[in-house]
Amino acid sequence: MHIRTTAVRLTALVLAAGLVTASCGSGGGTNANQDGLGDPGDCTVIDMAVSSEKIDLMTALAKSFNGSDDAKLGDGCAFVRPFSKASGGATELLATGWPETGEGERPVIWSPAASSWGQILNQRLADDGQSALVGDAVSFQLTPLVIAMPKPMADALGYPAKPVGWADIAKLSTSKEGWAAYGHPEWGAFKLGKTNPNFSTSGLSALIGQTYAAAGKTRGLSQEDLDNPKVTAFAKNVESSVVHYGDITMNFLNNWFRTDRDGTSLLYASAVAVEEKSVIDYNKGNPDGILKPGETPRKPRVPLVAIYPKEGTLYSDSPLYVLNADWVTATEEKAAKQFIDFVQRPSAQKKVLEYGFRPGNPDVTIGAPISKANGVDPDQPSTLLQVPAPPVLLSMLQKWREQRKGARVLLVLDVSGSMKEAADPKNPSGPTKLDLAKKAAIEALGEFKSDDQVGLRIFTTGLGSNQDADFQDLLKVQPMSANREGLASKIRDQFPQNATPLYAVTGDAFGDMVTQYDPTKINAVVLLTDGKNDDGDSSDDRQQLTSLLEKLRRGTDGENAKSVRVFPIAYGSDADLNTLTEIAEATNAAAYDASNPATITKVFTAVVSNF
């Protein structure tokens, strides 16, 4: 009973975390991607929620299907309309009946990144006494988890002649010599990028892979294995080299790609756990796999190599579920099945291959772009790992919370006058923007472990006894075991005040964190602001920003840099997301979009997923 309760709680955690991903601007967003799909007219519309990495492919397939003979449905027609929804977020929404809260239309077809999400959904529903929403599904495409590594580094390790796996990553992670042991002191220490396994399919697959490697198994991972001190030590070794976590792999890939331009990509990260498809996209010059209008692919100066871990790996299998939901009509079900038949045909499967996925139809032979020219090997992987039993999986996630690299974070909270505005302009007497921000910040504190170090700084003009300070440190950065209650209390006490000296405060916060840098932790500033820089003198704003960006980049670049990441949250519609993105990128971090104040809790939790 206890195990079951714990499992349910952990499942809920996984799912709640996944929900956050759904709301983040840069990743599994909720925006319907209907570009070019046109008007469905009188056709039966099949809304389809798909994980973000395949939204472009599914849109292309829908375009081919809609209006074709394959879409004829009796006297009518079917019209497929895909939209991007992160797997975890969709799981949570489906488990709660997909409330109509602007999260996209209720889908007829659901295609998460991996079928494990379908199992989690059914388990969650069963725990609530409800019937299953998904049954057997067609896996129409696959992509294995790999360790992406810049080619010069893979060459230095002797890959592929010498197999490389998680054991090598663990060894490199704790090597005092770092890359000097391989003749490249200029690359500094080994740095690993991994997404948070509570949010991301890649992160979860990587965690399973490294745990099997630690246990020396490829199957039958048990609770005893997880409790083995050697397995724990292995995990801590791997985690010790992590640059930061996060909710989506594309943050790593975008940062890698941007630093590639100025030749510093080898210093940002040595390896990142991603899906094979991402390596292909990156090497083709499209790091996030989504070409925006006007965006032209540019091949990187330093390509990536996909390392298939020698201990084995897992596939993301992209199941296509027709939901057994009460909102799905018999006609919609029939139309959905027609589309699913369509995407399995060789012509559609060739398109799957074009987009860098492995076809699910064995009649379509794997070929370009899955080729060594793009850094991947169609003859790999050689070993597939067994997905652990759900209780073991949940226990693994629980243990990861303690094994992950610790964090040292300064929360910098904007308490300027504009934060007193109503969060929802249609409800002027409702909560203010600051009310919601405080609630979100307090809730996010629960995600920090007790030895994470967190401090609180507020900023606005006119602070202090002389009313001349731009910020105030309310709690210094110290372990959460001592700070947790105080942080919540101090955040709760805040009220809106004056102007927004954004640039000066960001620079100071960054500088202070660099001064106190702790190499054993992820060092970061979380900056929440609802506005643009406003320090009373707009004439020098551009110069201030330039100086700030230079300062941030100087602190971040170089093999001996003290990497402090700045994660800004653009809060409310007036926040300057573009500038905040520049600030984030200058420190190889990511900016988060909470332009809709109602999403701030989800976004705050997503930001904290980086630690």
CA nearest to 390, candidates 2, 4, 1: 4
Nearest-angstrom CA–CA distance, 309 and 25: 31
Close Cβ partners of 456 (under 8 Å, ≥ 6 residues apart): 410, 411, 413, 473, 474, 475, 487, 490, 491
Least distance to another protein, CB of residue 147, Å: 15
Contact criterion met (CB below 8 Å) for 562 and 524 = no
Least distance to another protein, CB of residue 115, Å: 11
Interaction pattern, residues 125-164, with another protein; x per rule: CB under 8 A:
--------------x--x-x--------------------
Contact criterion met (CB below 8 Å) for 275 and 144 = yes
3-state secondary structure 515-560: HCCCCCCEEEEEEEECCCCECCCHHHHHHHHHHHHHHHHHHHCCCC
Stretch that binds another protein, among 279-287, 299-307, 382-390, 448-456 (CB under 8 A): 382-390
Least distance to another protein, CB of residue 308, Å: 8
Spell 55-76 as b/e; 16+ CB within 10 A means b. Answer: bbbbbbbbbbbbbeebbebeee
Nearest-angstrom CA–CA distance, 88 and 93: 9
Interaction pattern, residues 161-200, with another protein; x per rule: CB under 8 A:
----------------------------------------
Nearer to another protein, 25 or 381 (CB): 381
Nearest-angstrom CA–CA distance, 511 and 457: 14
546 binds another protein (CB under 8 A): no
Nearer to another protein, 144 or 496 (CB): 144
222 binds another protein (CB under 8 A): no
Residue pointed to by tokens 């074709």: 68
Least distance to another protein, CB of residue 309, Å: 11
> CA angle, corner 591, sides to 588 and 594, nearest 5?
170
Given 4, 9, 219, 492, the residue binding another protein (CB under 8 A): 219
CA nearest to 71, candidates 322, 335, 330: 335
Nearer to another protein, 64 or 361 (CB): 361
Give the pair of three-digit tokens for residue 355. 């987009």
Nearer to another protein, 142 or 242 (CB): 142
384 binds another protein (CB under 8 A): yes
Phi and psi of 238, rounded to 5°? -60, -50
Adjacency order of strands within the sheet including 407-414: 469-479, 453-463, 407-414, 522-529, 564-571, 592-594
Nearer to another protein, 135 or 378 (CB): 378
Given 99, 102, 362, 519, the residue binding another protein (CB under 8 A): 362
383 binds another protein (CB under 8 A): yes
366 binds another protein (CB under 8 A): yes
Nearer to another protein, 317 or 593 (CB): 317
385 binds another protein (CB under 8 A): yes
Given 6, 218, 331, 596, the residue binding another protein (CB under 8 A): 218
Sign of CA dihedral 396, 399, 404, 409: positive
Interaction pattern, residues 304-343, with another protein; x per rule: CB under 8 A:
--------xx-x-x--------------------------
379 binds another protein (CB under 8 A): yes
Q: Which of residues 470-509 bind another protein (CB under 8 A)?
A: none
Q: How many helices (H) and strands (E) does the chain have?
A: 21, 18
304: β partners: 150
Contact criterion met (CB below 8 Å) for 318 and 111 = yes
388 binds another protein (CB under 8 A): no
Least distance to another protein, CB of residue 376, Å: 12
Least distance to another protein, CB of residue 51, Å: 19
Least distance to another protein, CB of residue 384, Å: 4
Collapsing DSSP to helix, strand or coil, 348 comes out as helix
Nearer to another protein, 144 or 356 (CB): 144
Least distance to another protein, CB of residue 352, Å: 11
359 binds another protein (CB under 8 A): yes
Nearer to another protein, 310 or 433 (CB): 310
Burial of 29 (0-12, 13-18, 19+ CB in 10 A): buried
Least distance to another protein, CB of residue 380, Å: 7
Given 175, 331, 380, 547, the residue binding another protein (CB under 8 A): 380
Q: In one letter, which amino acid is 201?
A: T
Least distance to another protein, CB of residue 274, Å: 18
Collapsing DSSP to helix, strand or coil, 197 comes out as coil
Can you give the binding site for another protein, defined by CB under 8 A? 139, 142, 144, 218-219, 312-313, 315, 317, 358-362, 365-366, 378-386
